[in-house]
A and B are shown apart, each in its own frame.
Chain A
Amino acid sequence: MLKLQGNAISLDVKFNKRALFIVTKRAGLPSTIKAKYAFLLDSYLNYEEGYGAYISFDKVQGSGISNHFHLPIEMNYLADGDVISIEPSGRINSLFRKNSAHNTILLTEQCNHYCLMCSQPPKNIDDSWLLDEAMALLELIPRETVNIGFSGGEPTLYGDRFLGLINKSKLMLPRTSIDVLSNGRAFSDLFFTANYAATNHPDCVIGIPIYSDDPARHDYVVQAEGAFDETIQGILNLKKYRQKVEIRIVIHKQTIERLVQTCEFIARNLLFVDHVALMGLEMMGFTRANLDQLWIDPFEYKNILSEAVGVLSSYGINTSVYNHQLCVINDDVLPYYKKSISDWKNEYVDQCNLCVKKSECGGFFSSSKLHRYSDHIKAVI
């Protein structure tokens, strides 16, 4: 698992607030753009004046270079084109990694849901600086980037400012597809949806969770009364405006019981959605606190998963199963099985070492490996 933030030892800091830089190893950049870059120093020999900041991983002793930060060695994955934020205190965050296919940008930790299994527990504090930073980040991300994600919290709580972000994404990164994770409730306002559609982004998908066909159960899982109706209305409104929608279902003890009926509900009522993702449970945030209510061994529900996938695929719905291990699913799920490629999702346990399918298997969330995973993991030999 990558360390996405760390504290640098900084010497002579000349800026007084959090600033974003593109990482570069290249010397001799034109002076008109130099200030946007953090120059990755190999040694003092390639020091050159004019860069916004200087970073290095070795213990180079002070040489009077201003804005020079010694990063923890764990962050030496940073490469050309990555974007980092640096605080005057020396706090460093990796915000965008050019070599990752899945860059997700956190927009807020505020949320109007309080999901039993939230991996990013909401905080009710003003963190709108995150949105400001995301707006700035859009100017630094390379234009050839294939995809970026926006997540929260609930990004649409920003209202029109969220629409501004989507609009800016389209203007700054016209060829980059966008995934937004949202509970969809804001789109139950047809006027908001119309304005969202009017941004006319060519490839933006809103990923919205539906946890049950039973409104009471969905509301319980997200801990918000009336959520189900607003979420469904939001999806209907988005499709009325021909916007792309993905339905996301996290599988756990509270959702597995009606998973097949939920998929039937989607097939009958929301057939027009673009994708349905069935996902394993991540052992983060609230999940660990609510583990008794949530944990079910994937091995125990594998037949239900097969049936649910069977329903969706019968109806020709584009379906994917994420975050499951090959040894705990039935073969009929394989055509829909996706190996996730995010950095924090590809871990393996000891049993996996002998497995011949390891390279095809999605493995575990780092958090699952640490805290809880199926009792039925066994190597395919």
Chain B
Amino acid sequence: MSNFQTIEFYKNKKKEYSLLPFRFECLGENNYVVTNLAGEHLIITRDALENLVRHKLNSSSADYVNLRAKHFLTDDKTQIAKELLSIKLRTKYSVLSEFTGLHIFVVSLRCEHSCPYCQVSRQSDDKVKFDMSTEVADRSIDLALRSPSKNIKIEFQGGEPLLNFQLIKYIVLASKTRGGDKNISFVIATNLALINEEILIFCKEHKILISTSLDGPKEIHNTNRPRPKGNSYEKAVEGIQLAREYLGIDSVSALMTTTQNSLGHVKEIIDEYLKYSFLGIFLRPLSPYGFALKTKTYAAYNADVWHEFYMEGLEYIIDLNRKGIKFREYYTSTILTKMFTSQEVGYVDLMSPSGIGIAAVVYNYDGSVYASDESRMLAEMGDNSFELGNVLINSYEDIFLNPKLLDPIEESFAFSVPMCNECAFEAYCGADPVFHHGVFKDFIGRKPDSEFCKRNMKIFKYLIKRMEHDPYVKKLFMSWAQPNA
């Protein structure tokens, strides 16, 4: 009998709130982070979370007001949340309509370095075999210019691209001539050992940026990056200074790779970046590709060890900022942009749908086209899953409508992938089908076993907790979230 409600119950039915899509994750103790459809987050207690989902949250509580203002729930007071959420989501995904903006040209696979973690390079003088031909370059330029994106960035990679500088010159001039109304910009990714004035004069004339490698202080850098005279570091820092004299201080950026040698030395590495007036550093873990796997350098540390290294570095950088030294960690910045804004920064590893092919594409020295830089590294290991065709044979449509590109993008889309779809951090994370195919032989992998997942989850949680009770860090992180500030 008592299971039946009185007629009063139906008469007086109070208007309830409705839940909007959201996800949550335990932050330890009694605290949970909840994230809405647009990636905005709040930290609430377990009790509040339980009350929220049971429609028992008191509408006069602070949690209720916060959750309503951040679009986790909607009630008869306000219905605008859906409109605002949809705008934010549209903004985030609007970058997709631009399609491929970054076009990587591997102008030579040859290199005078022999780094054990290198993904792809050859010590060889065989230019015919390992340099890109003019014909391949021509076809690749045509493909790059077919991209609907108005802004095209051409990045020269290797091996060491400066070993084939003549072709770089050819590609810059030809793409400018044929580029029509596109804005074309250029980057050379080089170890700078071969840089000289002639090259820099050309770079200056065509506003070409330089991206180089700097792994840290001399001992670490030279151990990581062996070359015949053991002077990779000296060449790099001389090159940085020379390039800046021609191109300006901000036209030269540097990337570091973390090896076993780097562990325990994150402060010295950061200090090295400060010494050369860089505005930030990208603390980058090794990827399980190429020689890194073969030489077991990749196995040297796992996600936990990496996290410790990263965290120590990040804390050091936060302290530097407190002392008035403006300096950023760029991987953190990329994540913070996703946490605090609706902008998509376009960092391929942290995109979902994956950025392979549709944000960046690689034209290899031999004309083969790869869906990303990592894809060609996978191919070097015998996994051709992301080889999309060859510029000498295939059309633009063949390549960019190839199921070898579209299938992994669709299958790995984190919003629909098991475990990712319910993950509170889906909006901050990436799909990375290449990594997962490399490790698990499918585009998705098993997330609990995925180092990619572990590494990023740890960072997301750390960042959210880190700024929760430290207003200075929150303000700093908010400013890092602005890619253009």
Interface residues of A (CB under 8 A from B): 213-217, 219, 228-229, 232-233, 236, 258, 261, 265, 267-269, 271, 307, 310-311, 314-316
Contact = CB atoms under 8 A, between A and B. Distances in A.
A316 B482 contact: yes
Interface of A is mostly: helix
B481 A215 contact: no
B68 A215 contact: yes
A314 B80 contact: no
A268 B340 CA distance: 7
B181 interface: no
Given A258-B65, A258-B69, A268-B88, 7 more contacts: A215-B68, A215-B69, A215-B78, A236-B83, A271-B341, A307-B475, A310-B478
A314 B475 contact: yes
Contacts of B87: 236, 269
Residue from A271, A307, A314 with most neighbouring chain B CB atoms (10 Å): A314
B199 interface: no
Contacts of B65: 214, 216-217, 258
Contacts of A269: 84, 87-88
Contact of A214 (B68, B342, B481, B485): B68
Contacts of A314: 475, 478-479, 481-482, 485
B40 interface: yes
Given A236-B87, A269-B84, A311 B478 contact: yes
B485 A316 contact: yes
B469 interface: no
Closest 4 CB pairs of A and B: A215-B78, A314-B478, A213-B69, A229-B80
Contacts of A233: 80, 83
A267 B78 CA distance: 19
Contacts of B485: 314, 316
A307 B77 CA distance: 28
Interface in B90-123: none
21 contacts: A214-B65, A215-B78, A217-B65, A228-B78, A229-B79, A229-B80, A232-B80, A233-B80, A236-B84, A258-B65, A261-B66, A265-B70, A268-B38, A268-B340, A269-B87, A310-B475, A311-B478, A314-B479, A314-B481, A314-B485, A315-B482
A118 B484 CA distance: 39
Nearest to B479: A314
Contact of A228 (B40, B80, B479): B80
B482 to A, nearest CB: 6
A223 to B, nearest CB: 15
Interface in B438-485: 471, 475, 478-479, 481-482, 484-485
A217 B40 CA distance: 21
Contacts of A213: 69
B66 to A, nearest CB: 7
Contacts of B79: 229
Nearest to A311: B478
Nearest to A270: B84
Nearest to A269: B84
A310 to B, nearest CB: 5
Interface string B49-81: 000000000000000011011100000011110
B40 A268 contact: yes
A215 B38 CA distance: 19
Interface in B165-219: none
A228 B482 CA distance: 28
B474 to A, nearest CB: 9
A354 to B, nearest CB: 33
A314 B484 CA distance: 11
Nearest to A233: B80
Contacts of A219: 77
A269 B88 CA distance: 7
B466 to A, nearest CB: 16
A186 B79 CA distance: 17
Contact of A229 (B78, B88, B340, B484): B78
A265 B40 CA distance: 10
A227 to B, nearest CB: 10
A315 B478 contact: yes
A233 B80 CA distance: 7
A306 to B, nearest CB: 9
B69 A261 contact: yes
Contacts of B77: 215-216, 219, 228
A217 B59 CA distance: 13
Contacts of A271: 341-342
Nearest to A219: B77
Interface in B245-278: none
Contacts of A268: 38, 40, 88, 340-342
Interface string B324-365: 000000000000000011100000000000000000000000
Contacts of A215: 68-69, 77-78, 80
B297 to A, nearest CB: 39
Contacts of B481: 314
A118 B340 CA distance: 34
A310 B65 CA distance: 23
A233 B83 CA distance: 9
A233 B81 CA distance: 10
A258 B68 CA distance: 13
Contacts of B475: 307, 310-311, 314
Contacts of B471: 307
A347 B478 CA distance: 37
Contacts of B38: 268
B79 to A, nearest CB: 6
